[in-house]
Amino acid sequence: MKGRLWCFVATMIMAVSTSAVAQEVKIGVLSDMSGTAASIGGPGSIVAAQLAVEDFGGTVDGRKISILSADGQDKPDVSSVVARRWYEQDGVDVIVDVPVSSAALAVQTVAHELHKVLLVSGATTTALTGTACSPWTLHWAEDIYTLSNGMVGAVVKTGGNSWFLVTLDFKFGYELEAELKRVLESLHAQYDGTVKAPFNTSDWSSFILQAQHSKAKIVAIAAGGSDFTNALRAAREFGLVAGGQKLAGILVFLSDIHGLGLDVAQGLEFASSFYWDQNDESRSFAKRFMAKRGVMPTREHAETYAALIDYLSAVKAVHSTDPDKVVAWMRAHEARYFGHTAQVRRDGRVVFPVGLWEVKKPTESKGPWDYLKLVRMIPPDEAFEPLSQACPSAK
Position 16 confidence tier, pLDDT thresholds 50, 70, 90: very low
CB atoms within 10 A of CB 84: 17
- The overall average pLDDT reported for the chain is 92
What's the whole-number mean pLDDT along residues 207-232?
A: 93
Position 223 confidence tier, pLDDT thresholds 50, 70, 90: confident
What's the whole-number mean pLDDT along residues 258-276?
A: 96
Position 22 confidence tier, pLDDT thresholds 50, 70, 90: low
Per-residue pLDDT tens digits for 73-90: 999 999 999 999 999 999
Are 66 and 25 in contact by the 8 Å Cβ rule? The answer is yes
Are 117 and 136 in contact by the 8 Å Cβ rule? The answer is yes
pLDDT at 39: 92
Per-residue pLDDT tens digits for 148-194: 888 999 999 999 999 999 998 887 778 778 888 888 999 999 999 99
pLDDT at 8: 37
Cα separation, 122 vs 141, in Å, equals: 5
Structural domain 17-142+279-352, CATH architecture = 3-Layer(aba) Sandwich (3.40)
Is 19's pLDDT higher than 80?
A: no
Is 206's pLDDT higher than 60?
A: yes
Best CATH choice for the domain 145-272+354-383 from the list 3.90.1150.10, 1.50.10.10, 3.40.640.10, 3.40.50.2300 = 3.40.50.2300
Q: Where in the chain is the domain with CATH 3.40.50.2300?
A: 17-142+279-352, 145-272+354-383
Cα separation, 43 vs 41, in Å, equals: 7
Q: Under the phi-then-psi rule, with left for phi > 0, alpha for psi from -120 to 50, and beta for the rest, what region is 185?
A: alpha
Distance set, CA 379 to CA 151, 192, 248, 355, 392 (Å): 11, 28, 19, 9, 26
Are 207 and 214 in contact by the 8 Å Cβ rule? The answer is no
Lowest mean pLDDT among 7-11, 57-61, 312-316: 7-11
Per-residue pLDDT tens digits for 51-72: 999 999 999 999 999 999 999 9
Is 327's pLDDT higher than 60?
A: yes
Position 6 confidence tier, pLDDT thresholds 50, 70, 90: very low
Is 20's pLDDT higher than 60?
A: no
Between residues 326 and 174, the one the model is more confident about: 326
What's the whole-number mean pLDDT along residues 104-123?
A: 97
pLDDT at 175: 78
pLDDT at 225: 80
Q: Order of strands, edge to edge, in the sheet holding 335-337?
A: 335-337, 340-344, 350-351
